Amino acid sequence: MHLVENLCFNMAKEMTTFTLWEKLQMIYEKISNLSKLILIWQLLNMKMRETEPETFHINTFNWVLTELSAQDLNFDEEVKTLVLLLSFPTSWEDFYTIVINSSSKLTLDEGNGAVMSKELRGKSMGLIINEPAKTHHLTRSIE
């Protein structure tokens, strides 16, 4: 059995397989809890940049949810959808107001579908998606 040096140091004092197993389980539970904490932090602090494609953002968001689910940490569909909507830029405020008001109980599929529809509508209209709005200031010279 090959153990990482750090683990070997911690396991050197264990005399039976049972105590060795208990020690390993305790160490990996701590690692698992840290992993959950990091994933939750990523989920709650995820913010889409104006120039980021919607599909990339949704895929990243869903990947974090999948990783959390693999560690038996699941969220209600409505909570997932609300966290997704909050991860969009503030310029999307009108969009997520519409999504929130469209249904009494939100699902992640509805949220993802609305975002994909928005992206497709923009592409079909020939718009450049997610490029920050450029403002033009009119200047007048005083002579």
pLDDT at residue number 31: 67
- 111 Cβ contact partners less than 8 Å away, ≥ 6 residues apart: 80, 81, 84, 85, 99
- Distance between first and last Cα of the chain: 85
Q: How much is the pTM?
A: 0.59
Which residue would you say has higher pLDDT here, 133 or 71? Answer: 71
pLDDT at residue number 44: 94
What is the C-alpha to C-alpha distance for residues 92 and 48, in angstroms, rounded to an integer?
10
In tens, the pLDDT along 88-129 reads: 888 877 777 777 777 667 777 777 777 777 776 666 666 544
Tell me the angle at which helices 108-124 and 54-70 cross, rounded to the nearest 10 degrees. 160
> Are the CB atoms for 45 and 83 separated by under 8 Å?
no
**What are the contacts of 135-142 at 24+ separation with CB within 8 A?**
none
pLDDT band (50, 70, 90) for residue 64: very high
In tens, the pLDDT along 50-62 reads: 888 888 998 999 9
